[in-house]
Amino acid sequence: MGEAVEFLAYNNGFSNVHFETNHNNMIIQQNDLLVHHHQQQQQQQEDSWFEEEIDVHLKWSFALNRVLHKGTSEYQDIALLDTKHFGKVLVIDGKMQSAEVDEFIYHECLIHPPLLCHPNPKTMFIMGGGEGSAAREALRHKSIEKVVMCDIDQEVVDFCRKHLTANHEAFRNTKLDLVINDAKAELEKRKEKYDIIVGDLADPVEGGPCYQLYTKSFYENILKPKLNTNGIFVTQAGPAGVFTHKEVFSSIYNTIKHVFKYVRAYTAHVPSFADTWGWVIASDQPLCIEAGKMDKKIAERIDGELLYLNGATFVSSTILNKTVAKTLKNESHVYAEDNARFIHGQGVAYRI
């Protein structure tokens, strides 16, 4: 007979896997209790899992090598995990934020389109982005002179700077201005304007620290006035799959349409997210989305080779499937603090 696997749930999404077997050669005799105890400890260490609850009846499980960090800051639950399949992964409020092996998909899609659409980008303000990957991609552009990365959570920034080796150079770059503050408050108090503003924020969950930064009032009254004349705004916009795009993606897109003249939604599959993901790019100037021109700019402007994005890939990412396109066309919800939409999950404030 084969092995039966039973998932034993623990707090904060962590679990162990218990194996049951009928193989005769695996039967441990009574006089081998010490060996059995040692094997149990070793098995428990080898078979640790993390479970992300995507929905009430749906979980996404990751086998772990070890837990690098687990704790609760003032703002959110944080875990940095070393997984067997996806490498190091950052989990905030129980939600996968990025994985070492495929984060390049998310961050290339987030950062390079607005920089390539802009005629001569020099300054960028990143809301969130504490792990440093968004800043890393932005700093590859030769024209960039200053990147402000504003994250609310010092603890996230500190352990990402320590453990995510791919971003060590970005954190040391003299063009990076790292600020620990609420992005809304930081933008309000700053007098300068930016060529690009990026929303690299955690997903809006009930009780989380970020949902106010997806509202029409924030985009209209605080963010847009901080963009230069040719300025471009881009934000991650949550799950965008056939079954998940109505959670927040369509609402974020429709909200931004009420603030900017030219708005495009685009998507890509991110394996570690177990879904298609969405972004929204916006400006009051026309967005140049042409494969040949984007490829030319990639060759001229960016140090090193992109792993995922080229002109054709970006153009194709703006072509949405029929179900999602229809929802975006008919969406009427405008994101506001008093009628916010959330993805499944809870933030620290809600649990308290």
Nearest Cα residue to 134 out of 171, 163, 91: 171
Q: What is the pLDDT of residues 166-194, one digit of tens each?
A: 999 999 999 999 999 999 999 999 999 99
Full residue range of the structural domain in which residue 345 is found = 103-351
Judgement on whether residues 305 and 183 belong to the same structural domain of the protein: yes
Q: Provide the token pair at 278.
A: 């969405």
Is there a domain that residue 268 lies in?
yes
**C-beta separation of 83 from 99 below 8 A:** yes
Q: Which residue's structure tokens are 């991609």? A: 137
Judgement on whether residues 40 and 111 belong to the same structural domain of the protein: no
**C-beta separation of 244 from 237 below 8 A:** no
Strand order in the sheet with 262-270: 176-180, 146-151, 123-128, 194-200, 227-239, 275-283, 262-270
pTM more than 0.75: yes
Judgement on whether residues 12 and 111 belong to the same structural domain of the protein: no
CA distance 209 to 94: 14
CA distance 281 to 10: 39
For residue 32, the model assigns a pLDDT of 53
For residue 2, the model assigns a pLDDT of 37
Is there a domain that residue 107 lies in?
yes
pLDDT at residue 349 tops 70: no
Confidence tier at 13 by pLDDT (50, 70, 90) = low
Judgement on whether residues 21 and 112 belong to the same structural domain of the protein: no
Q: Please tell me the total count of domains within the chain.
A: 2
CATH code, domain with 274: 3.40.50.150
Mean pLDDT of the chain: 87
Q: 94 in helix, strand or coil?
A: coil
Catalytic residue set: 200
Final residue belonging to a domain, choices 30, 46, 62: 46
Residue 310 CA to its chain's centroid (Å): 20
Residues in CB range of 146: below 8 A, 6 or more apart: 122, 123, 124, 175, 177
Judgement on whether residues 341 and 208 belong to the same structural domain of the protein: yes
Q: What is the pLDDT of residues 117-142, one digit of tens each?
A: 999 999 999 999 999 999 999 999 99
Task: Give 235-304 as a 3 state SS string.
Answer: EEEEECCCCCCCCCHHHHHHHHHCCCCEEEEEEEEEHHHCEEEEEEEEECCCCCCCHHHHHHHHHHHECC
Confidence tier at 230 by pLDDT (50, 70, 90) = very high
Helices 249-257 and 322-330 pack at an angle, to 10 degrees, of: 50
pLDDT at residue 219 tops 80: yes
CA distance 247 to 265: 15
Residue 311 CA to its chain's centroid (Å): 22
Judgement on whether residues 158 and 40 belong to the same structural domain of the protein: no
Is there a domain that residue 5 lies in?
yes
Is there a domain that residue 73 lies in?
no
For residue 101, the model assigns a pLDDT of 96
Judgement on whether residues 27 and 158 belong to the same structural domain of the protein: no
Is there a domain that residue 259 lies in?
yes
Taking the C-alpha atoms of 219, 222, 178 and 103 in order, what is their torsion angle to the nearest 10 degrees?
Answer: 0
Judgement on whether residues 236 and 326 belong to the same structural domain of the protein: yes
Judgement on whether residues 25 and 130 belong to the same structural domain of the protein: no
Q: Give CA separation, 66 vs 53, 70, 87, in Å.
A: 20, 11, 11
Is there a domain that residue 33 lies in?
yes
Is there a domain that residue 94 lies in?
no
Judgement on whether residues 33 and 138 belong to the same structural domain of the protein: no
Indicate the burial class of 65 (C-beta count within 10 angstroms; 0-12, 13-18, 19 or more): middle
CA distance 350 to 352: 5
Is there a domain that residue 91 lies in?
no
If you average pLDDT over residues 109-122, what whole number do you get? 98
pLDDT at residue 351 tops 90: no
Nearest Cα residue to 94 out of 350, 292, 303: 350
CA distance 88 to 344: 23
Q: Percent of the chain having pLDDT more than 70?
A: 84
